Amino acid sequence: MDPAAEPLRKEVRIAVAQKQNTHWSCLDYGNNVCFNRWWFVKDSCGIVCCVFTWLLLAYAEFAVNVVIIASAIARDAVYFAIINGVLFNGLVLFALISHIRAAMTEPGIVPKNTATDERIRELELAPGTVIMRCPKCICIKPDRAHHCSICKRCVRKMDHHCPWVNNCIGENNQKYFVLFTMYIATLSLHAIIMTVHQFILCVDKEFLGSIRCVFLPIGCSAMNPPTSIILLIFLLFEGLLFFLFTCIMFCTQLCAIWNDETGIEQLQSDKERSWARRKRFSGLRAVFGDNCSIWWLSPFSTPRLMGNNKPYHYSV
C-alpha cells in the first residue's frame, strides 16, 4: 500500500487552499436530477411524503374556501371573507413555493472524485499533510460536510435529511426550509382560529340555512350539516397537528442558526469542532442573505451572500 495514500483514511480536518481554476458551479447531480436540469432526490419515501404534503395543503384550501369563506360571503360578511381569504390563500402559496424550492434546490453537495491521486497531487500539499476524505464519494470533505445515505452525496453544512421535502437541509436550501415551517405554522394557526370561529358562529344554527342559489348559500355552509362538521373537525385536527410540529421545527432551526450549528453538530462534542462560530446575527445573515430586508421572508428570492457571510465553499 502506498504510504502517501494512508492519511486519506483518517478524518482529520485541515484548511485547504483555494484553487482559482476550480469551478464549483459545474456539479454532477448523478441520479438526483429531474429534466436534466433540476436537483431532485429519487427516493420513494420522500416522494410519497411530498405528495402527501401537497394533498394536505389542497384539503385545507378546499375546507377553508368552501366551508368557511363561502359561508362568510353568504351572510354578507364580505370584509371577513376578503381579508381571511386573501391571507390564508397567500400563506398557502408561500408555503407551497417554499416547499418546492427546499425540495428542488441543490443543498450544497460536494463534487465527487476530488480525492483521487491526480487531484491530490494538484493540491501541492506539504508532505505528511492529512485531509478528511469520504470513501463513498471519493471526495475531500470540507469542514461541516456530512455524507447523506439517501442523497448518496456529501452535503456542506448538512443539518438533516427531511423526508417531507425529499431533500437534505444544507447550506443552499436552509432558508426555504425555515420559511416552509414558518408559513405552515402560520396558516395552521389561522385555520384553527377560523374553524373555532365557524363552530362558535354556527353551533346554535346547527349549520342550517335556506339556499338562495347553487353557488350562494344562506347560512353556515354550502354543504349539509354532517359534511360541514366532518370537514371542519378534520381541518381543526390537521391544523393543531401541523401547527405544533412545524412550530417546534421552526424554533429548532432558528436556534441552530442563531448558535451557528446544525442538528448533526449539536450531537458532537466541542473537541470535535474545528471551525470558528459566527456571531449571532451573522448566522442569520449567512442563511437568509447579507442585507436584512423583507426579502428574508420571500421564498421567491435567493439569498445574496457577501463578505464574511459567504457560505462554507471550498475548492480542491
What are the cell numbers at 180?
416552509
The answer to whether residues 115 and 143 touch, using CB atoms and an 8 Å cutoff, is no
The CB-side HSE value for 213 (13 A sphere, CA atoms) comes to 3
The secondary structure of 164-214 as a DSSP string is TTTEEE-TTTHHHHHHHHHHHHHHHHHHHHHHHHHHHHHTTTTT---BSSS
Give me the phi and psi of 124, to 5 degrees please: 55, 50
In whole angstroms, give the CA distance from residue 68 to residue 202.
11
Give me the phi and psi of 292, to 5 degrees please: -70, 120
The answer to whether residues 284 and 257 touch, using CB atoms and an 8 Å cutoff, is yes
Is residue 137 part of the annotated active site? The answer reads no
Other Cβ atoms within 10 Å of 44 Cβ, number: 8
In whole angstroms, give the CA distance from residue 312 to residue 142.
8
What are the cell numbers at 99?
416547499
Q: Which amino acid is at 24?
A: W
The answer to whether residues 140 and 7 touch, using CB atoms and an 8 Å cutoff, is no
Q: Which of 137, 139, 162, 220 is catalytic?
A: 162
What's the angle, vertex CA 58, arms to CA 57 and CA 59, rounded to 5?
Answer: 90
The answer to whether residues 74 and 216 touch, using CB atoms and an 8 Å cutoff, is yes
Active site residues: 162
